[in-house]
Amino acid sequence: MGMVKDFFSGIYNLVVGLFVTGKHLGRHAITLQYPKERWEMPERSRGVVVLLSDPETGELNCTACLLCMKACPTGAIIIDREKNPETKRWFPTKFVIDNTICAFCGLCEESCNFDAIKLTGKYEFSVFDQSELIYDMDRLAELGRDVKYTPRKKPAAKKAAEQKKPPAEGKKPDEKKEDTAEKKPEEKPDKIETNPAEKKEEKAEASDKKTEDQESRKPEEAKQGDLGLDKEEDKKESGN
């Protein structure tokens, strides 16, 4: 009898299970036929990194302040820069993003103060040769041409700098930007003071910070710093 009972209870449970499956028969499919149909990527989606340019002039927004290069955890960004002797403004001569080691974490976008670098919703960038994944400046700028972005609100430091400077002195707008770029990293630490324990060390650290920031202005030195070493390590790891 036990076996017969088990048999019928088994059949009964099969029917109950099939009933649940049957309930889902009428549902719409949640899958899409991929190459024909595509999901709309959300606005915050973090995909391929691009360089944004000014829609009016077509010039890159990048001021080569090297903040993104310092923020990158994998060392995927390499920047060379030069100073324009006329406008006295830094500009990038080489801007390379190595997509083979990029982690798409978005820290470069967050560190940027000039809407220059952005992670977009683009996700189809498979290639046959790995070396094609290393994007140079032209490629990055081209990818960023059609990317729409809302210009960020001017940072507080920048506004303050503008207000301080009378319009007569502000004839050179490029120079002004350069100033804020350098001021920014120095001013931030003073604003964020949540740690009472750190306050004591603040004075001692302040001198350190200044030297660091000075270092960051020299691209050659920054490259030989910690980030450069880290990058070599990463390459070894990915090779393995």
Partner 1 sequence: MDEKELHIGEHQEQDEQNPVARELHTEEFLVNMGPQHPSTHGVCRLLLTMDGEVIVKVEPYIGYLHRAIEKICENRIYNQITPFMDRFEYVSSMLADWVYALCVERIGQIEVSPRAEYLRVIFGELQRIASHLIYWGVFAMDLGAVTPFLYGLREREMIMDLFEETCGQRLTYNYIRIGGVSQDINPGFEQKCKKFTSYMCQVLEDYETLLNENPIFLSRTKNIGVAPPELSVAYGVSGPSLRASGVNWDIRKDDPYGYYEKFEFEIPQGKNYDTWDRYQARVIEMRESCKIIEQALDGLPEGDPTFKMRASFKLPEGEYYARIESSRGEMGCYIVSKGEKKPYRLKLRGSSFNNLMIIPEISKGLKIADLVAIFASYDIIMPEVDR
The contact set with partner 1 (CB under 8 A) reads: 6, 9-10, 13, 16-17, 19-21, 23-24, 30, 42-46, 67, 70-73, 103-107, 110-111, 119, 185, 188-189, 192, 194-198, 201, 205, 212, 226, 229-230, 233, 237
Q: Closest approach of Cβ 137 to partner 1, in Å? A: 24
Tokens of 58: 């077509």
Q: Which is nearer to partner 1, 18 or 54 (CB)?
A: 18
Q: Closest approach of Cβ 229 to partner 1, in Å? A: 8
Contact 113/67 with Cβ under 8 angstroms? yes
Q: Which is nearer to partner 1, 83 or 200 (CB)?
A: 200
Residue 79: name the closest of 214, 188, 218 by CA: 218
Tell me the C-alpha distance between 84 and 239, whole Å: 39
Q: Which is nearer to partner 1, 7 or 136 (CB)?
A: 7
Contact 154/86 with Cβ under 8 angstroms? no
Contact 68/118 with Cβ under 8 angstroms? no
Q: Closest approach of Cβ 6 to partner 1, in Å? A: 6
Residue 49: name the closest of 182, 139, 157, 183 by CA: 139
Q: Closest approach of Cβ 169 to partner 1, in Å? A: 30
Residue 148: how many CB atoms within 10 A of its CB?
A: 7
Q: Which is nearer to partner 1, 60 or 102 (CB)?
A: 102
